[in-house]
Structure 1
């Protein structure tokens, strides 16, 4: 096995960068739509290409991590994602937009898998859970990116905005690369599944069978990914075109959502310790469903903001728990399988919501997020006895 990631600080920087890049793209989607004169259906197809590229990369990236090591894949993917960020702003047609988004998705999927695999390695090295905290920093990055987007929306064009973020990300990647690549002083003595499941288990890198529990966590991730992706892709457009919010105000709405999801993740360990994992997952699903219905159907911008905050708090800890458990059970390929299953939620989301928005209105389309959020709540309650014990998840 190649040397694992054992240094938390540079990994925290990369999680934050990933969130910033994602939010930078998300808050300027309305501007790109307007620039190219796209219908919501055409935009949905272009976003589908982004999701398809990401999904294909996720499927393959587990093997890349096993072969080349987490650190090499992480640094390479981060540099490529940063460089590719500017490409959507340069697209001159929907065909070119779809093509560059597919390329961006290929790089982004590899970054996603390597980041989460690195988080599993850090948990093994430290003997304590850090996945929720790192995902919280991803959300902090999203918050920073969306706030910056709101600040720059009326001051810089999309090319200049994307170029500024891409350049900064490349510089930070180069600065953190030496610390990430430096060989660890010693390999972790805690098996990968220990500290998460509370029981010793052999590390599962390389060839091994991935069982039903990994698939179940993938289905949970699927439901959450659909909701998170739909909020990122369409909430700004809903506020902008449906509620008449200014471009900067619509960006700040996404910032409010990211503030809530970041806060929820940063206190995720404490919440699960108090309420139990089933309570957090089920309660989070119900809260997210109520929040998105409020956002979709209210006529007031302030209530739409409140609804997005509720969605963020509800969804905050579901995805980190699912991916952490899949990684503990199956290493990088477990992360790859669960994240790949989960990402089909984002794959289905753009065309489905775009189609429903054109034929039934965006509020109706956004209401489908409530359905999948309630599915998470039902799965948390009904599937509790068929997955890992609660004690195995309580640390998250």
Structure 2
């Protein structure tokens, strides 16, 4: 029998809510660790292919293309099946495909692997944020930055394993395969507690009830893009350029300044650790100063810190500059997701999926733009794109309407 359509969202039991929060946090750890491990070994993978900055920028374009292909249908998938099913498929795909990608011995083979990896990423990243918003609404307060803290913690862990593997001269595929096995064990242990989001078809959930237990009042073809969602997507787009630039180029930038492979991985670790620290306290700061001002101050700090680091142009300055970028940008996406998930007239899971669709083209454009500019003016100057993006966020955030979390049951 279909669930009744209503605006009332019953509160989940506290024990179930805690278990759901833990299971969703593991998804974020998994995603961060897989991507951090891969990013930390990018210099080694690139060396075994022997490609230039511009060629590498085109190769890694395959991953965001895959993401965009999945995001084109993700909103409909989530509204019909909930976010749980695509998140499971995406997590499994990422665990398998990253070690396989590290085995690629030709650029074409790596392009194929990264395209498939992008499809898996798209199936995981949007849905896991939708699940996090669902849990946040159960708590009735801002906790989304804490989920992204676990992503950063996973990214830091993956990056540190990359540093260790680089020092020990372990092949990237061996390191990444071992990491995937450990992450798979943790993931399977918490999978029974993974919640689901609201469906809008009127059909009851088959196995795992969403925390809210009822569908959104809006039908699937209710309001989609609104001016505020478009603005939030633009901020997410610019933030993704910053994050993509840091993940793809921070290690290579330090290597270009004279640091070794281990120092290159350490640059990514500094960035990831800074993000983790700010996400640990981000929810409290947001609740204190408001989301709009928080977005503006965060982006300004990113621009100032990384800009100064690039101007100085030394390895220590690179480490500090990317750490500043991490501090400034770490809570922008969680804040944007919370604002999107609490927009009126748009189902929260659908809004989060739309924001993901809006922000991911940055990963499609960012790597080749920075790589192409690096061929012309050098990598140091090309990374100025990130600084410009942060300054634009400061401008756009001034037009954001601040919204509190809509508690479950209200």
Superposition TM-score, scaled by structure 2 size: 0.87
Q: CA deviation at 1:313?
A: 0.8
Aligned-partner Cα distance in 1 for 2:97–2:218: 33
Aligned-partner Cα distance in 2 for 1:355–1:146: 26
Aligned-partner Cα distance in 1 for 2:127–2:179: 21
Q: CA deviation at 1:339?
A: 1.1
CA offsets 1:270-325 (integer angstroms, 9 cap, x no match): 21233332322111111111222233232322222111111111111111111222
Preserved CA contact (<8 Å) 2:102 2:173? yes
Preserved CA contact (<8 Å) 1:59 1:337? no
Aligned-partner Cα distance in 1 for 2:403–2:121: 33
Aligned length: 379
Match runs of 1:4-23 below 5 Å:
6=17, 7-23=20-36
Q: Look up the match of 1:198.
A: none
Specify every segment of 5 or more residues in structure 1 that has no aligned partner in the other structure, as ranges. 193-201
Match runs of 1:310-349 below 5 Å:
310-329=324-343, 330=346, 331-349=348-366
Q: CA deviation at 1:58?
A: 2.0
Q: Look up the match of 1:353.
A: 370
RMSD: 2.4
| CA 39–185 in structure 1, closer or farther in 2 if over 3 Å, else same | closer
1:232 and 2:247 are equivalent in the alignment: yes
- Mean Cα deviation higher: 1-10 or 225-234: 1-10
Specify every segment of 5 or more residues in structure 2 that has no aligned partner in the other structure, as ranges. 4-8, 197-206
Match runs of 1:123-142 below 5 Å:
123-142=136-155
Q: Look up the match of 2:97.
A: 84
Match runs of 1:180-195 below 5 Å:
180=194, 187-188=211-212
- Mean Cα deviation higher: 26-35 or 3-12: 3-12
Q: CA deviation at 1:184?
A: 6.0
Aligned-partner Cα distance in 2 for 1:185–1:265: 29
Aligned-partner Cα distance in 2 for 1:273–1:257: 24
CA offsets 1:159-192 (integer angstroms, 9 cap, x no match): 1011111222222222222222795688537x99
| CA 132–186 in structure 1, closer or farther in 2 if over 3 Å, else same | closer
1:272 and 2:286 are equivalent in the alignment: yes
Superposition TM-score, scaled by structure 1 size: 0.89
1:305 and 2:329 are equivalent in the alignment: no
User: Equivalent of 2:68, from 30, 36, 55?
Assistant: 55
Q: CA deviation at 1:204?
A: 4.1
Q: Look up the match of 1:28.
A: 41
Q: Look up the match of 2:383.
A: 366
| CA 203–154 in structure 1, closer or farther in 2 if over 3 Å, else same | farther
